[in-house]
Amino acid sequence: VTGRTTGTAQGEVGAAGRDARARRVGIVGFGTVGQAVARILTGRAGRPAPELRLAAVCNRRIARKRVSWVPEDVAWTERIEDVLASDADVVVELIGGLDPAGDWVRRALLAGKSVVTANKQLIAARGPELAELAARNGVHFRFEAAVCGGVPVLSALREGLSGDDLLSIRGVLNGTCNYILTRMDAAGLSFDAALAEAQARGFAEADPSADVDGLDAGAKLAILAAIGLGCRVRPSDVACRSIRSVEPIDFTYARRLGCVIRQVARVTRETGGSTVLEAGVQPALVPLASPLAAVQGSQNVVLATGAHGGETAFGGHGAGGDPTAVAVVSDLLAVARQEGPARPWLPPPGPPARVLTDFVAPRYVRFVVRDRPGIVADLAGRFSRQHLNIDAVLQEPGHSKAELPFVMTLEACSTGALDQALGEIAALDFHVRPTVSYPIVD
């Protein structure tokens, strides 16, 4: 431990010259978001909030984390026990992941401290249980930054749209995927080249799996379902399909169909019911006129559809240290001002909703084949056996007959019937690459 620890300096931290009535904040995890939160709290990035005072910073191997712009009376520690034993009123968990973050949040709540976190994984997996614990201990538990970073969609769903009866939520929830897909579209890049560019520019992590394979958006969707639809969805029940299968040629065909390609997350509550849902994250074709198509680069958008108010859109910077820190500090201010219920927003722990992965939508199906007569007739036969209607066949000129990409669009059909047909089609002898299919959604 370097500097004064909160464990030994209980009651003293932050005493010098700052508002003694301010809520004392302990930041746990001094990385991208943690440092951005500290910059706001200390007034380094504009006007500080007088209701809040940074009291402690906790991180492993803390010595290398110290910065000169943090006031001298802030305690630096690498032991969570120091923060728990201190007089910090609020613990901000920004280390990420399930472990040890879950245990530390639980212990902070048990110690009578309010908790603010940006950890979507933790909220999606253990949110209801931690919310209950917060309620039992009479403290706040807030996590606005966990979904869409700086876009205040959780409080909008919980407060602004609470008068509606929300039926579905869909959105572009992952900035990394949106950056990759919009760059592939605009610059004709391959997936690998667009991913490398995203990593070089800090929009993608060294291991991008959670983003590109849909798990990150799936965890966010589970939280949106809980807050907006009042349904508990296990993140593992959200059907996630990767964007790795998208190729530059798909953007050409998508444009011919008046669409772009986005990673779309969608959850729908059965009309008149409360628990049966369709929930999925996958690449999809989206008509150019849809708000889902308008979102560019690393931005996010969420569309909520209610029985009374129709569709409402929320958009903005879904990630990045500063936008995410704004959401964290807004949560801290809500705690300081005693706004919102101490009993947080999640449905109580209980059996999760039954989640269906099948849904009906028109489909885009792309084949890459070694050309020979009769291929379209073979495919039409397999589709018709499953009662699937072909809407159009598209073929761009200029491709080799040894590796010919072409597209069929299908009228609205269920995922189950399509998968059955594609299973039979996969056994045919003309494929050069696996067939891909995306729904067309708006």
Catalytic residues: 220
Q: Which is nearer to ligand NAP, 180 or 254 (CB)?
A: 180
Candidates 15-23, 25-33, 334-342, 344-352: pick the segment binding ligand NAP (CB under 6 A). Answer: 25-33
- Which single residue brings its beta carbon nearest to ligand NAP? 31
Dihedral sign computed on CA atoms, order 366, 367, 372, 377: negative
Residue from 7, 71, 100, 416 touching ligand NAP (CB under 6 A): that is 100
Report if residue 92 touches ligand NAP, rule: CB under 6 A.
no
Q: Does 221 bind ligand NAP (CB under 6 A)?
A: no
Burial class (CB in 10 A: 0-12, 13-18, 19+), 319: buried
Preceding amide of 362 cis, omega within 30:
no
Distance CA 56, CA 88 (A): 8
Q: Rounded to the nearest whole angstrom, what is the least distance from the CB of residue 399 to ligand NAP in the complex?
A: 40
Residues 316-375 that bind ligand NAP (CB under 6 A): 319-321, 324
Closest CB 404 distance from ligand NAP, rounded Å: 41
433 binds ligand NAP, rule: CB under 6 A? no
Q: Does 59 bind ligand NAP (CB under 6 A)?
A: yes
Spell out where 184-241 has E strands: 239-240
Of the residues 7, 43, 96, 297, which one makes contact with ligand NAP according to CB under 6 A: 96
- Beta bridge partners of residue 393, listed in sequence order: 408
Length of the chain: 442
Task: By CB under 6 A, name the one of 34, 102, 228, 352 that touches ligand NAP.
Answer: 34
Stretch binding ligand NAP (CB under 6 A), from 40-48, 54-62, 187-195, 342-350: 54-62
H helices of 227-313, where?
248-256, 291-294
415 belongs to the binding site for ligand NAP (CB under 6 A): no
Token pair for 23 = 């809520």
Q: Does 60 bind ligand NAP (CB under 6 A)?
A: yes
The smaller minimum CB distance to ligand NAP, of residues 149 and 405, is found at 149
The sign of the torsion formed by the CA atoms of 239, 316, 293, 367 equals negative
The least CB distance from residue 150 to ligand NAP, in Å, is 8
Residue 30 found at the interface with ligand NAP (CB under 6 A)? yes
Strands 23-28 and 52-58: parallel
> Considering the complex, what minimum distance in angstroms separates the CB of residue 315 from ligand NAP?
15
108-167: contacts with ligand NAP (CB under 6 A): 118-120, 145, 149
Size of the site for ligand NAP (CB under 6 A): 22
Considering the complex, what minimum distance in angstroms separates the CB of residue 147 from ligand NAP?
A: 8
Closest alpha carbon to 38 in 338, 340, 335, 324 = 324
What is the full DSSP assignment across 190-256? Answer: -HHHHHHHHHHTTSS-SS-HHHHTSHHHHHHHHHHIIIII-----GGGSEE--STT--HHHHHHHHH
In the complex with ligand NAP, which residue's Cβ is closer, 151 or 369? 151
In whole angstroms, the minimum distance from the beta carbon of 321 to ligand NAP comes to: 6
Q: How far apart are CA 194 and CA 107, in angstroms?
A: 42
Output the CA torsion 369→375→380→385 (10° steps).
-90
125 phi, psi to nearest 5 deg: -85, -40
CB 94 to ligand NAP: min, Å: 4
Residue 374 corresponds to which tokens in the numbers above? 């009769």
| Residues 146 and 123: beta-carbon distance below 8 Å | yes
Q: Tell me the residue type at 211.
A: D
The CA-based angle 255-260-265, given to 5 degrees, is 155
Window contacting ligand NAP (CB under 6 A); options: 26-34, 218-226, 242-250, 341-349? 26-34
Position among 27, 95, 161, 215 found at the interface with ligand NAP (CB under 6 A):
95
Q: Which chain residues interact with ligand NAP by CB under 6 A?
A: 29-34, 59-61, 94-96, 100, 118-120, 145, 149, 319-321, 324
